Chains A and B, each alone.
Chain A
Amino acid sequence: MAHDHDHDHDDGPAEPKGPGLAERTYFVPLIKGLANTLHHMFRVDANTQHYPEQRRAPAPGYRGEHRLKRDELGREKCVACFLCSTACPAHCIEIVAEEAPWSDREKRPRLFNIDMMRCIYCGMCEEACPCDAIELTPVFNIPSRTRGEKIYDKERLLSN
């Protein structure tokens, strides 16, 4: 290197020392790793859940599949105010409003679709709802065979 003529002043950091023999042969790390594997193989208090048979209880406040709530008369609580779709950062809620046939409110949703594949399960819709009409249930296993099934309509959301 170019250190030949400027050895008077030491201005740069020292060259890092190379790995020692033990490290260069990888022997010690190999043994260490293997020991870790063996330790977990024969552990008695294994932390693994056997999923389909054993189900874990989600923590309180877990945000899974959505649900539209009904009031005591069985009508949807939603008044189609669009605040959930306004708050939604993923733009996955599609609402079309119509005039409600009931005297106690003006609007209700004619269409209420959530694109579950676009949803990021942030729970902002639940936060924004002024009528407590939408909530995120703890249901997390929501498989489907087609993409179309992933767009939940009003009926589907009300039946959750």
Chain B
Amino acid sequence: MSEATNPETPLVNWVLNGQPVQSPAGMTIFEAAKALETTIPNFCYHPGLTIAGNCRICMVESNRSKKPVISCSERIAEGLEIQTESPMAIEARNAVMEFQLINHPLDCPVCDKAGECDLQDYSYDHGPDRSRFDEEKNIRHTKELGPTIDIWGNRCIVCTRCVRFCDEISGTGELCVVERGDRSVVDVFPTVPIDNPLAGNVVDICPVGALISNDFKFEARIWNMRKTDSVCAGCARGCNVEVQSLDGFVKRLVPRENMEVNKWWMCDEGRYDYRYLLADERVTACTKDGEPVEDHDAHETLAHWLQDPGGTLGILVDPYITCEEAFLVEQIASHANNALVGGWKPADGTAQSFPGQFTISGEKAPNRLGVEAVLGKLVFGSQGHALRTALEKGQVSTLIVFAGFPHPDPDDAWVQAIRKAKRRAVFALQAGAWTEGAGLVIPGASPFEKDGTYANEDGRLQRVRSFHAPGDVEWSHDLQRLQAVLRIAGLRPRSLSSSAVFRELADVKKPFHGLSHSTLPATGAPLPGFIPLPVGVEGGSV
């Protein structure tokens, strides 16, 4: 893996399917072929795990061996000749497929893996289309392995990806293979359920439907769901995720590969944390003095407040707003005569790191650095204190609060302080202490419903996208609402897409120079010259 990326590694001349090729020394046949865009089927191989070589589906013909070799574990060498489509390789593959399917139940129609199952895909391409096996299929256990994971033993092909994951990545080692021969199946030790912070990943890496997430079981068929590439907002790590939704409801989150951020994994805390989207406390309509009002009326009221704040204008931001939204906040502040911008962020949790070089950040918010890159390094530090002091002294007459946190954690000092503002508008995800007594409450969007960019704890700028299909929802996200307000207040000529707002931001703000939504790679890009620092520390180039 690492050898492939090192330019110093010497190249090896070998032959793949009759074609002379060169690959960095030390690579396995499988990885080298994959890099050369020749796909070899695989079950037990996973780029993030050690090589097990037990599924045998990746067998290829080699000039160095009379028998076919497994490409996932054999390494390339000078003069090696490999055939992936020769009669010997095809026969070997077909035989393996037939063996895999001997005891595999034909329950694809009710299996939650169907549609993204390697065994299902390969059974179309390789092996006979019917079984020659006349005997009874053996039955293995179906049971709960832990609070979130179930096993359907009959479907298990014993590739041991999940066992290796628990040994190597989470380091907890709950899973093991029990029994022998065709009765072998993955299981846990008695009284030790699989319950680690990364447990959900074993479901993703299972090449068949043996390990099933309780949370997603029977919820939807894979092919019906809308898939949106976004970023998890559970912590400052910013794991790349794919949000899979059906009819406007999030059904599950799965990690996307990003070697710079989360590799292939994500934690359970982030994975199962999407229920707040449907919380009863969710603010769904604008209210003015507790009475529901039309969106336009609410926007107009806020625009009037901005035009005439009646004294000091305070803006309290949170680390859930996108960089684009932070940019609009700065525009509002720069047009006011007397404005104070400060930030609030939820209390830090405990950071966790795992043997597989995966970390969960202790900072439980997605975009503290992005907001700092736009609004200044001190926004969550001394600027926040200045705003709170002004609020406590009753010096702020108009206050705009961004309360987009999924799990409102009323910070008493702040809650008391914001109530001292003469009038208060809250962009709120959920009703609660922050919205109580507010003159204006405007529904806020959750991170999965926003469109824009977040910067993670390394200062890597990544794109977040709304999982809603265009036209799916009748309400707009914060960026559109802010622009509507600014348009009415005469501060912006028109409402633009988040990409266009980002272009303006990139023109003005140094860390964003040269970046744009369209050129941002799928894996994100570091903010050039931006040094991630702890809260309230000034430094770096900003």
Contact = CB atoms under 8 A, between A and B. Distances in A.
A98 B220 CA distance: 10
A130 B218 contact: no
A97 B221 CA distance: 10
A86 interface: yes
B110 A79 contact: yes
Nearest to A95: B221
A89 to B, nearest CB: 15
Interface string B209-228: 00000000111010110000
B213 to A, nearest CB: 14
Interface string B89-123: 00000000000000000010110000000000000
B218 A99 contact: yes
Contacts of A130: 109
A98 B219 CA distance: 8
A85 to B, nearest CB: 8
Given A97-B218, A99-B218, A107-B218, A81 B223 contact: no
B109 A79 contact: yes
Contacts of B223: 86
B110 A80 contact: yes
A98 B224 contact: no
B221 A107 contact: no
B105 to A, nearest CB: 11
Interface in A59-116: 79-83, 86, 97-99, 105-107
Given A105-B110, A130-B109, A82 B221 contact: yes
B111 to A, nearest CB: 9
B218 A81 contact: no
A130 B219 CA distance: 20
Nearest to B152: A106
Nearest to B109: A81
Q: Number of contact residues on A: which range applies?
A: 10 to 19
A86 B109 contact: no
Contacts of A86: 221, 223-224
Contact of B218 (A83, A98, A131): A98
Contacts of A105: 110
Nearest to A79: B110
Most buried by B among A83, A97, A99: A97
B224 A107 contact: no
A79 B221 CA distance: 13
A130 B114 CA distance: 14
Contacts of A80: 110, 218
Contacts of B219: 97
Contacts of B221: 81-82, 86
Contacts of B109: 79, 81, 83, 130-131
A79 B114 CA distance: 14
Contacts of B107: 106
Nearest to B218: A97
B494 to A, nearest CB: 37
Given A98-B218, A99-B218, A106 B224 contact: no
Tell which of B107, B109, B217, B223 has the most Cβ of chain A within 10 Å: B109
A99 B110 CA distance: 11
A140 B221 CA distance: 32
Interface string B458-491: 0000000000000000000000000000000000
A82 B224 contact: yes
A106 B110 CA distance: 7
Nearest to B142: A106
B336 to A, nearest CB: 50
Please indicate which of the listed interface residues B221, B223, B224 has the most CB atoms of chain A within 10 Å of its own CB: B221
Contacts of A81: 109-110, 221
Residue in B110, B221, B223, B224 whose Cβ sees the most chain A Cβ within 10 Å: B110
A83 B108 CA distance: 10
A45 to B, nearest CB: 52
Nearest to A99: B218
B113 to A, nearest CB: 13
A106 B223 CA distance: 20
A81 B111 CA distance: 8
Contacts of A83: 109
B112 to A, nearest CB: 9
Interface string B234-248: 000000000000000
Contacts of B217: 99
A30 B489 CA distance: 77
Nearest to B217: A99
A88 B109 CA distance: 16
Contacts of A79: 109-110
A128 to B, nearest CB: 10
A83 B223 CA distance: 11
Contacts of A106: 107, 110, 218
A99 B219 CA distance: 10
A156 to B, nearest CB: 22
A131 B107 CA distance: 11
Contacts of A97: 218-219
Nearest to A131: B109
B211 to A, nearest CB: 15
A100 to B, nearest CB: 9
Contacts of B218: 80, 97-99, 106-107
A99 B221 CA distance: 14
Interface of A: 79-83, 86, 97-99, 105-107, 130-131
5 contacts: A82-B224, A97-B218, A106-B218, A130-B109, A131-B109
Interface of B: 107, 109-110, 217-219, 221, 223-224
A-B pairs, 8 with minimum CB distance: A81-B109, A97-B218, A82-B221, A130-B109, A107-B110, A79-B110, A106-B110, A107-B218
Given A82-B224, A99-B218, 5 more contacts: A79-B109, A97-B219, A106-B110, A107-B110, A107-B218
